[in-house]
Every structure is written in C-alpha cells, then in structure tokens.
Amino acid sequence: MTKLFPYEDLREYAKVLIGALELQLKSSFKNRDIIIIKYDNTATPLAEALFALLIEKHMHPVMETALTPAMKAEIYINSSYGQLTFFPPGKTELYDTARGVIRIHAPEEVDAMAEIDPLSIMANKKASNKFRQRLEKRKIYGSLAWTECVYPTQALADKAGFSLEEYTIKLMRACYLNMPSPAQEWKKISEKTSEIALWLSSMDIKTIQIQSELCDLYFSPGANRQWQGSNGGNVPSYEVYISPDCRTVNGYYFADLPSLYMDRMVYGVHLEFSDGIAIKATAMGGENFLLDQLRADGGARSVGEFSLTDSSFSRVDHFMSQTILDENFGGEFGSCHIALGQSLLETFSGPPEMLDKPFMDALGFNTSSTHWDLVNTEEKIIVANLADGKRKVIYENGVFKI
C-alpha cells in the first residue's frame, strides 16, 4: 500500500482533512486542542500521517479504532439486548471536550452485513441517538468540527470493479491529491459552492421541480432556509444542498446509482411521494432491506435533504462503493441526491438556539435516526418556480446556471 499511496500524498491528504475541520470552526485551533481520529484498521497509514501532523501542531490526537466486520457480527448476532444497546461510559465526556473528529472509512469487507437482521443494526444505532443529537448541536454552534473521508481498500476496489491501484488513483484524483496544493484547491471549491449556495438562497423560490427520464419530483425549500455549499463535512465534497420542507415532497424519484447503506447494497430504488411521505418503494436489488429501513421510525419515509453536484467541480465519474464519493458523482450529467430521514439543521437560516423540536416540526424539518443518500445521475433539468410567478432554470446538463 505504501507504493500505491506514498507518504507525501498521505501527508497532503492529512492537511486537506485538517483544513476541512478548520473550515467549520468559528475560531482557530489552539495548542492542546483534542482531535479524535476514528478509523478502520486498514486506514492505519492515513491515521499515522494525521497523528504526526497533529503532534507537529501541538494538538492532542486521540485514536479510536472502528469495529471489524467480525466484531460487528458478534454484536448483531450473539449479543444480549443489553450488550446490543450498551453505550460506553466516558465517550460523551471525551467528545464534549474534542474540537474536531476525523472519520476514515476503509472497510475490510463491503456488503458484509447482508445476512444480519436490520432490526439488530437499528437497535444498536438507536442506543446512541441522544449522543448523536448532542454532537449535532455542537456542530451547529461551531464548537465541534467533523469530517469524513475514504481510504482505499481491496474490498472497495472489488465492489467498484477496479484493481486496488486503479481505485487508489481515482480516489486521489477525486480528492485533488494530484494537484500541487490540494488544500488550496479545496478552499477554492468551498468558495465556489458557497457562491452558488448564496445565489440560490437569494432567490424567493416557492417550489423546485426535478425532471429526468425516470424522475419527476417537486418540493418547496421551505421557510427560514439557506442552501449550503461544501463546508468540509466530507472529503471529497462538491455538493450544494438544502433540507426542504419535508411535507411538500411529491412525485417520483429513481436512484440509478447503487447505494451502500449500513453495510447493505441496494440498487435501482424507485420511490413515489405524496405530501411528503414515500407511499410506494421498490428496488431492483435489496428491496426487503429498503422496506425495513422505511419502517425504522416516523421520519424514515420522508426527505431530509436535496443536493446537487456540478460536473465541472466533481472528479467522481464512476460508482465507488462508498457514499462519501458516490453522493458527489459528477460524470457527464452531474448528479442529484435525496436523503431519506434526518434533515440537516445547518440549512436553517436563523439562530440555532431557536431550533427546538416544535419549531423544527412547524418548519417542516424532518426528524429520524436514519439519513440515507440515494443518487440519480441521469441527464436532468431543475427549475425553480419563483414567488413572482417566473420560472428559472437553475441546473441543466450537469451544471448550475448561475
């Protein structure tokens, strides 16, 4: 792996990730700040590069290894309910004192949980709901930065149909690691997507309609909303997104790109929405899992996010078997995606302290323990219907019409 991903490139990747954290904070990092690095064992080379860079910056890296597929299987299959829903003491206190978290995804196996009962996975996930809500609040207030990324593995390469070397090259290109100054490139992309987000937020949009060969979906962005650009939450990220009023989503949506969610592969997802609820759902593969997820809780059948990726920014042009990459698909026609489940509260335009549960419900922000991105890469046109009665094309042929 050293030859596939030289240390110089790992160090540049580490700089990009720390830069992604800095984009999100309202104040700069200081000496002795705590940065948690959560990583899969196969991502150790990148974790080591991050550790070294944080030591140089006089910060405190705290390493946290993720569960292996064998460990996950033990938890989901052989544990008691008490073990399944156990939340470790001290974890909340650690994350409360951290200024940043970097999650490196590098799975040893893909689709490893195909035979696991989804109810076990959901029960385990729900045990940390309050913890995740606490983290989200800190992120909204700008006191905690969080970014996620991918490290190449044979399992990811196999699922995407590449050799490991080919996958690594595509990942490096997607993260701009083949450029002289990758961190500077990501600052430029953040500025460009932020400009587009401001342009969209400045329009008085009543409804948005997405039309392609297999999609005809419309919704209202909702009151007190702001579009967001690439803000360092993922690397790579080229998207511009909003959490719409979930009650207003109507029509048909098709995800032509396969989706890997909770270690399950699902593809060819068709959804039909009526007044914000997915009333019909089918899939060419993984349909039973899809239907199980739609029953996860009261918000799992509603939309929490709508996102667009401009093909002129994105360097992802092939299925990569990892959502962080796939949701930023560029290709010939760019892409859009919806997320079933939890809304993204940074798209609220007011003070974050106003966002209690009754106010979120009143504005049409969705609440759920799930957030599942489903990507459409078809040629499409997206039209904004404005308050003054005019119609404006905001996205066509894979690019924003700014």
pLDDT one-digit tens code per residue, 352-382: 888 888 999 999 999 998 999 999 999 999 9
Q: What percent of the chain has pLDDT over 90?
A: 84
Q: What is the structure's pLDDT at 127?
A: 87
Q: Report, as an integer, the average pLDDT of 253-279.
A: 94
| Beta-strand relationship, 335-341 and 250-255 | unpaired
Q: What is the structure's pLDDT at 1?
A: 43
Q: Name which residue leads in pLDDT, 111 or 223.
A: 223
Letter for the amino acid at 196? Answer: I
| b/e burial code for range 253-279 (CB count within 10 A of at least 16 → b) | bbbbbbbbbbbbbbebbbbebeebebe
Cβ neighbors of 65 (< 8 A, separation 6 or more) are: 38, 39, 40, 41
What is the separation, in whole angstroms, between the first and last Cα of the chain?
42
In tens, the pLDDT along 237-258 reads 999 999 999 999 999 999 999 9
What's the rounded Cα separation, in Å, for the pair 77 and 282? 27
Cβ neighbors of 206 (< 8 A, separation 6 or more) are: 220, 385, 386, 387
What's the rounded Cα separation, in Å, for the pair 348 and 355? 8
Beta strands (DSSP E) in 1-152 are 34-39, 60-65, 100-105, 145-150
Return the ∠ at Cα 293 (arms to 174 and 241), rounded to 5°: 40
